[in-house]
Structure 1
């Protein structure tokens, strides 16, 4: 589904190349199966962002997604945080990608949302919906936090929820996050830097999340899609927490 690839591009770091693709992006959104309100919100996002200053957009992107963990585009961040459980989850996810025919660079973290969407966009509509349903709980939380910050990036995550077909009680999620402390302040970031950083992969000395460095190849076979078992990972994490609490 082309709309998933478009949302993948829009969620990645904005560049001059992205700006040059405005017209086809608008055409794909307009022809998509999104609900009318989601389609309108996405078109407004494109008009607002593409007609503004690129450097301002890049600075706001970094402020949203690169400061703190609450809006991280690394999906496992919202399930495992920086615990050691995340390392094994990464290994499992990499294995599932390979079984589906996807090879990614050593500097690319497999749970990076734009990469995950780019992958799903090659796997057929049914598998795309299945893959989005597996991360619907994360997408809903991201949407609520983006709405809380009055960011129009919520149009993108809300559109992904719309494509998934999952019905989410957003009012309940907003209630749950209402009293969250911001983790993108200078004080909160200083505290994070004081903690030991956990990295993954053989090239852990380099940046873990270099966006756009690896895309699914044309040789990927749609019939080799393997569900990524996000719900199972969340369940295991909850069970482990319960055991530790006893």
Structure 2
């Protein structure tokens, strides 16, 4: 399992089958591309996750990434918000996936970070690094917010920033994160529901509101047809 694939799996909603692949995850965390300190941090994250109860891990994930927008793993939400540009950006990304033989399930949004990382894990290293460089400011802000909230996922996002080799000042971003008003409190969520416009069409959320169906054991890439 490549490093980007591993980070994507660890950022994704922790489904129960993840615990069946514990040894594979631990082995992948010992990636020689990382510094010894990072390998130790990554392995500690994996071990802590494997030692946790799946229901507790799932509850913690929802509280982290599915409450408020500041920690959203939908990249275009941080770039375009709810503007029309977001829809076109998604169309363009889907086309890029398809050109390279990568098909999405109907429930998946193309800008979901774990999905993007799975895709990039199958692309040439230079291309993957370039894409991570372009989204480095988003990964950096997510890393800063995670660190400010004392979330263990901070190390995963910091590794992505480093993989993109971008000039991201994490200390400056952490200072900015410390000054932000939290959007994951009960009061903030109540205000969001009051202000949220009803959306129809292709961008409307699914009715059951479940996270996308992902599996750590499944590679979503389909081989390109000759």
Is the TM-score greater than 0.5? Answer: yes
**Contact persistence 1:109–1:208 (CA under 8 A):** no
2:72 is matched with which residue? 72
More off after superposition, 5-14 vs 98-107: 98-107
Going from structure 1 to structure 2, the CA distance change for 1:199 and 1:93 (only over 3 Å counts) comes to farther
Question: Is the counterpart of residue 46 in structure 1 residue 50 in structure 2?
Answer: no
**Contact persistence 1:34–1:162 (CA under 8 A):** no
1:201 is matched with which residue? 202
Distance of 1:198 and 1:22 partners within structure 2: 39
2:14 is matched with which residue? 14
For 1:137-191, what per-residue CA distance to the aligned partner results, in whole angstroms no more than 9, with x for missing partners? 1000000000000011111111111222223211111122222111011111112
Going from structure 1 to structure 2, the CA distance change for 1:132 and 1:198 (only over 3 Å counts) comes to farther
Aligned ranges for residues 34-113 of structure 1 at < 5 Å? 34-113=34-113
**Contact persistence 2:31–2:39 (CA under 8 A):** no
For 1:95-126, what per-residue CA distance to the aligned partner results, in whole angstroms no more than 9, with x for missing partners? 22222222212321000000000000011222
Secondary structure of the equivalent of 1:187?
Answer: helix
Q: CA RMSD in A?
A: 2.2
The Cα of 1:199 is off from its aligned counterpart by 6.0
1:132 is matched with which residue? 132
2:121 is matched with which residue? 121
Going from structure 1 to structure 2, the CA distance change for 1:29 and 1:136 (only over 3 Å counts) comes to same
Distance of 1:75 and 1:181 partners within structure 2: 20
The Cα of 1:216 is off from its aligned counterpart by 3.3
Distance of 1:78 and 1:100 partners within structure 2: 25
TM-score relative to the length of structure 2: 0.89
Aligned ranges for residues 90-239 of structure 1 at < 5 Å? 90-194=90-194, 195-198=196-199, 201=202, 205-206=206-207, 207=209, 210-212=212-214, 215-220=219-224
**Contact persistence 1:106–1:201 (CA under 8 A):** no
TM-score relative to the length of structure 1: 0.82
More off after superposition, 63-72 vs 38-47: 38-47
Could you tell me which runs of 5 or more consecutive residues in structure 1 were left unpaired when the two chains were aligned: 222-246
The Cα of 1:47 is off from its aligned counterpart by 1.4
Distance of 2:203 and 2:61 partners within structure 1: 28
**Contact persistence 1:108–1:208 (CA under 8 A):** no
Could you tell me which runs of 5 or more consecutive residues in structure 2 were left unpaired when the two chains were aligned: none
Secondary structure of the equivalent of 1:158?
Answer: helix
For 1:57-82, what per-residue CA distance to the aligned partner results, in whole angstroms no more than 9, with x for missing partners? 11110000000000000001111112
Distance of 2:176 and 2:204 partners within structure 1: 37
Aligned residue pairs total 221
Secondary structure of the equivalent of 2:30?
Answer: helix
**Contact persistence 2:140–2:170 (CA under 8 A):** yes
Distance of 1:187 and 1:144 partners within structure 2: 23
